[in-house]
């Protein structure tokens, strides 16, 4: 079963064999074009080649939403708002008439190219967008039975869905419909705070802790959102006040003039300095999102009576909100699909076809494991590939046996070096989980600035996440739950905190103040977006952090994705070496080969980074 997501953003392909997720990859990693939305020809070719398959061997090819239902929504929307929306119509229709109405034909043509001939008996299926999300959340989860909550911008009509999964069955029991959407509300604030919709939502989430919790301005923004922008019901459903939003009729998201009159600040220009007003705004919308999601989770609990919850959809990538749901204590366990955004729809679509359409049995993993294999589902490279790359670039490296490798890399991190770490299969989902990561020492007070400005070439406020040994997490963070996919936050333990700057101190003072003995991963509000590393799912990464612990006493490292701003995470040894040579990273480790910057031949730097 092949699942595909494409033509909107974050194209991807996933392969399911006998109900098991065996391979999945994002197209952007192959084409090196961030959020690539084209047909995932490279990802499809890779997942099929990996198992020696051709398109004609597939039981079905499954696209992650229903294009005609989306077209219906568009037509009804234009009809409802006519004559407003003409500009938007003129912009949207050509691409539908040229491409999107013919998705069935496009997919067939692309697959026939891979097949090298006609495909006579191709079964092409189109589950609904939120069914794909729901399936991506439930089937790979470690639960036999769970409540399902999927929340994003919009699929066809639905923007939020509550469902119930039991065994191999999924039923969708309630939905919220376009244009009323929590995802769209969050995106509207993403735009207003000067970030790009579809990619800047992480930045808005990262900016929120810089707002002053409980301050008059945050409270005022919150009140205005609740009183004017949305009508939030007790069950978590909401109505947007569409006189403030223009996404249904124009190509813009909000009415800037009305928003400025409401909030008293203009939309922030992209790349302009970020003032405290926007930080407070980011915090206000974060708190509103938390409130809405906790209410939705409560409704999911009420409707299903389940003790487990699974989440997917773009909003489920908001780690702060996820933690609020966990903290609300409504469910015993919460599990989130690591590729919760649209790319994950490829996986969900294939799983939905397997279990809903073909009635295939669901095989459960052992209680403690989900079916994602640590999300290491992407391409993997051999030592020979690394040698070939080294020959091509004239790169100089030392091959080191495992134990010595962990010792040397841990020592380098401990003395302040920034290390690229590429091992095994590439991660599925937007987070680097220790196979395509840049690692550093979390104890270093100036590491955050160094990583942002000299390695990642991005805004200096952007926070970093720790990878901590699963068994040691409670030593550093107030948490008892695992967070293998970096989708939850946890407060740094009280006894590790230092006083920091007073809450009313200027921002620069607050930023530069030491907040704990692991300052690089401690956010202004003392939270951290942690990843717990299990010896069972990633033994090499675990061994490295364990060695770092032996040398320093600290069982955690800074983990940021192996890329620079605007570039997709590296996939091949070539990508890794190129990224390494174009930044001020000190060394890169690919498999068992260490490349030290000082040993490398002259390299003419290219600006890899672009807009994200």
Q: Which of 17, 90, 261, 415 binds other proteins (CB under 8 A)?
A: 90
Q: What's the closest the beta carbon of residue 252 comes to other proteins, in angstroms? A: 8
Our finding on whether 197 is near other proteins (CB under 8 A) is yes
Q: Which of 17, 51, 80, 95 binds other proteins (CB under 8 A)?
A: 95
282 DSSP β-pair partners? none
Count of beta carbons in the 10 Å neighbourhood of residue 294: 17
491 DSSP β-pair partners? 527
Give the distance from CA 426 to its chain's centroid.
Answer: 14
Q: What's the closest the beta carbon of residue 94 comes to other proteins, in angstroms? A: 4
Kindly provide the b/e burial profile for residues 222-242, where b requires at least 16 CB atoms within 10 angstroms of the residue's own CB.
Answer: beebeeebbebeebbbbebee
Taking the least distance from each CB to other proteins, the nearer of 53 and 93 is 93
Q: Which of 272, 364, 290 is nearest to 326 (CA)?
A: 290
Q: Which of 79, 120, 366, 391 binds other proteins (CB under 8 A)?
A: 79
Our finding on whether 187 is near other proteins (CB under 8 A) is yes
Our finding on whether 75 is near other proteins (CB under 8 A) is yes
Our finding on whether 195 is near other proteins (CB under 8 A) is no
Q: What is the β-pairing status of strands 593-596 and 587-590?
A: antiparallel
* DSSP state letter for 265: S
Taking the least distance from each CB to other proteins, the nearer of 250 and 277 is 250
Note whether 30 and 41 are within 8 A (CB).
no
Taking the least distance from each CB to other proteins, the nearer of 100 and 456 is 100
Q: Position of tokens 């962990």?
A: 406
d(CA 78, CA 89) in angstroms, rounded, equals 7
Taking the least distance from each CB to other proteins, the nearer of 183 and 442 is 183
Taking the least distance from each CB to other proteins, the nearer of 74 and 571 is 74
Our finding on whether 198 is near other proteins (CB under 8 A) is yes
Q: Which of 377, 347, 333, 345 is nearest to 16 (CA)?
A: 347
Give the distance from CA 512 to its chain's centroid.
Answer: 28
* DSSP state letter for 492: B
What separation in angstroms does the CA of 254 have from each of 13, 145, 196, 257, 260? 33, 40, 14, 9, 10
Our finding on whether 122 is near other proteins (CB under 8 A) is no
Part in contact with other proteins (CB under 8 A); list of ranges 150-158, 303-311, 362-370, 545-553 = 150-158
Q: Which of 276, 190, 189, 207 is nearest to 524 (CA)?
A: 207
Part in contact with other proteins (CB under 8 A); list of ranges 44-52, 55-63, 83-91, 578-586 = 83-91
* Gyration radius of the chain's alpha carbons: 24
Q: What's the closest the beta carbon of residue 90 comes to other proteins, in angstroms? A: 6
Taking the least distance from each CB to other proteins, the nearer of 85 and 591 is 85
Kindly identify the residues of this chain, within the stretch 334-393, that bind other proteins according to CB under 8 A. 342
Kindly identify the residues of this chain, within the stretch 157-186, that bind other proteins according to CB under 8 A. 178, 183-184
Our finding on whether 511 is near other proteins (CB under 8 A) is no
**What kind and span of H or E run contains 354?**
none
Q: What's the closest the beta carbon of residue 133 comes to other proteins, in angstroms? A: 12
Size of the site for other proteins (CB under 8 A): 44
d(CA 286, CA 207) in angstroms, rounded, equals 10
Our finding on whether 462 is near other proteins (CB under 8 A) is no
d(CA 241, CA 229) in angstroms, rounded, equals 5
Q: What's the closest the beta carbon of residue 163 comes to other proteins, in angstroms? A: 19
DSSP-assigned states of every residue in 56-100: GG-S-EEESS-HHHHHHHHHHHHHHHTTTTHHHHHHHHHHHHHTG
Part in contact with other proteins (CB under 8 A); list of ranges 95-103, 226-234, 264-272, 551-559 = 95-103
Residues 247-286, one symbol each (x = binds other proteins by CB under 8 A, - = not), give x---x-x---------------------------------
Taking the least distance from each CB to other proteins, the nearer of 104 and 458 is 104
Kindly identify the residues of this chain, within the stretch 434-453, that bind other proteins according to CB under 8 A. none
The 3-state DSSP class for residue 539 equals helix
Our finding on whether 91 is near other proteins (CB under 8 A) is yes
For 82-195, where are the alpha helices, taking DSSP H only?
86-98, 103-115, 129-138, 182-192
Length of the chain, in residues: 612
d(CA 135, CA 504) in angstroms, rounded, equals 46
The 3-state DSSP class for residue 311 equals strand
Our finding on whether 96 is near other proteins (CB under 8 A) is yes
The 3-state DSSP class for residue 393 equals helix
Token pair of 217 as six digits: 């301005």
Taking the least distance from each CB to other proteins, the nearer of 178 and 221 is 178
Taking the least distance from each CB to other proteins, the nearer of 129 and 222 is 129
Q: What's the closest the beta carbon of residue 63 comes to other proteins, in angstroms? A: 13
d(CA 516, CA 492) in angstroms, rounded, equals 8
Residues 571-600, one symbol each (x = binds other proteins by CB under 8 A, - = not), give ------------------------------
Q: Which of 26, 129, 301, 355 binds other proteins (CB under 8 A)?
A: 129
Our finding on whether 101 is near other proteins (CB under 8 A) is yes
Taking the least distance from each CB to other proteins, the nearer of 100 and 203 is 100
Q: What's the closest the beta carbon of residue 505 comes to other proteins, in angstroms? A: 38
Residues 211-250, one symbol each (x = binds other proteins by CB under 8 A, - = not), give ------------------------------------x---
Kindly identify the residues of this chain, within the stretch 12-71, that bind other proteins according to CB under 8 A. 65, 68-70
Count of beta carbons in the 10 Å neighbourhood of residue 124: 16
Q: What's the closest the beta carbon of residue 91 comes to other proteins, in angstroms? A: 5
Count of beta carbons in the 10 Å neighbourhood of residue 211: 25
Q: What's the closest the beta carbon of residue 48 comes to other proteins, in angstroms? A: 24
Residue 395: HSE in the Cβ half-sphere, 13 Å Cα cutoff:
27
What separation in angstroms does the CA of 508 have from each of 484, 501, 505, 511, 541? 33, 10, 8, 5, 35
- Positions in the binding site for other proteins (CB under 8 A): 8-9, 65, 68-70, 72, 74-76, 78-79, 88-102, 104-105, 129, 152-155, 178, 183-184, 187, 197-198, 247, 251, 253, 342
């Amino acid at each position: 079963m092949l699942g595909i997501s494409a033509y909107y953003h974050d194209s991807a392909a996933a392969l399911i064999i006998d109900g098991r997720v065996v391979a999945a990859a994002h197209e952007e990693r192959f084409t090196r074009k961030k959020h690539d939305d084209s047909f995932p020809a490279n990802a499809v070719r890779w997942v099929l080649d990996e198992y020696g398959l051709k398109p004609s061997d597939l039981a079905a090819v499954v696209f992650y939403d229903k294009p005609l239902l989306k077209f219906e929504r568009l037509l009804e929307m234009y009809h409802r708002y006519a004559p407003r929306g003409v500009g938007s119509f003129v912009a949207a229709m050509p691409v539908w008439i040229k491409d999107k109405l013919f998705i069935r034909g496009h997919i067939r043509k692309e697959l026939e190219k891979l097949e090298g001939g006609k495909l006579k008996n191709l079964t092409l299926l189109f589950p609904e967008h939120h069914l794909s999300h729901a399936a991506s959340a439930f089937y790979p989860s470690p639960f036999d039975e769970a409540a399902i909550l999927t929340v994003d911008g919009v699929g066809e009509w639905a923007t939020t869905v509550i469902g119930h999964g039991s065994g191999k069955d999924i039923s969708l029991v309630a939905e919220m419909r376009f244009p009323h959407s929590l995802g769209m509300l969050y995106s509207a604030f993403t735009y207003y705070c000067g970030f790009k919709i579809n990619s800047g939502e992480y930045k808005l989430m990262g900016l929120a802790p810089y707002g002053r919790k409980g301050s008059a301005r945050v409270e005022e923004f919150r009140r205005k959102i609740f009183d004017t922008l949305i009508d939030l019901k007790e069950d978590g459903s909401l109505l947007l006040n569409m006189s403030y939003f223009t996404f249904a009729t124009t190509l813009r998201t909000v009415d800037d003039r009305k928003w400025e009159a409401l909030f008293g600040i203009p939309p922030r220009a992209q790349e302009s300095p970020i003032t405290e007003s926007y930080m407070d705004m980011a915090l206000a919308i974060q708190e509103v999102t938390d409130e809405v999601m906790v209410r939705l989770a409560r409704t999911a609990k009420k409707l299903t009576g389940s003790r487990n919850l699974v989440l997917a959809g773009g909003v489920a990538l908001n780690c702060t909100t996820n933690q609020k749901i966990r903290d609300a204590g409504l469910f015993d366990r919460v599990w989130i699909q690591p590729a919760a955004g649209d790319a994950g729809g490829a996986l969900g679509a294939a799983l939905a076809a397997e279990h809903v359409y073909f009635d295939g049995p669901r095989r459960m993993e052992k209680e403690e494991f989900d079916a994602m294999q640590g999300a290491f589902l992407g391409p993997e490279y051999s030592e020979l590939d690394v040698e070939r790359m080294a020959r091509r670039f004239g790169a100089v490296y030392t091959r080191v046996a495992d134990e010595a490798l962990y010792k040397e890399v841990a020592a380098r991190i401990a003395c302040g070096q920034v290390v690229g770490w590429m091992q095994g299969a590439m991660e599925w989902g937007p987070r680097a989980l220790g196979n395509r990561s840049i690692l550093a020492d979390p104890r270093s007070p100036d590491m955050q600035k160094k990583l942002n400005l000299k390695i990642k070439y991005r805004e200096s406020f952007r926070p970093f996440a720790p990878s901590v040994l699963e068994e040691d997490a409670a030593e550093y963070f107030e948490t008892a739950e695992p967070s293998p996919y970096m989708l939850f936050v946890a407060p740094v333990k009280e006894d590790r905190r230092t006083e920091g700057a007073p809450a009313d101190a200027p921002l620069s003072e607050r930023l530069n103040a030491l907040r704990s003995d692991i300052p690089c991963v401690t956010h202004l509000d003392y939270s951290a977006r942690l990843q717990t590393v299990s010896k069972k799912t990633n033994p090499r990464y675990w061994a490295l952090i364990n060695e770092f612990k032996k040398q320093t006493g600290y069982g955690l490292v800074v983990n940021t994705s192996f890329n620079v701003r605007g570039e997709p995470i590296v996939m091949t040894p070539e990508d890794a070496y190129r990224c390494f040579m174009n930044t001020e990273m000190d060394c890169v480790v690919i498999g068992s080969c260490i490349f030290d910057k000082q040993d490398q031949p002259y390299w003419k730097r290219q600006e890899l980074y672009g807009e994200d």
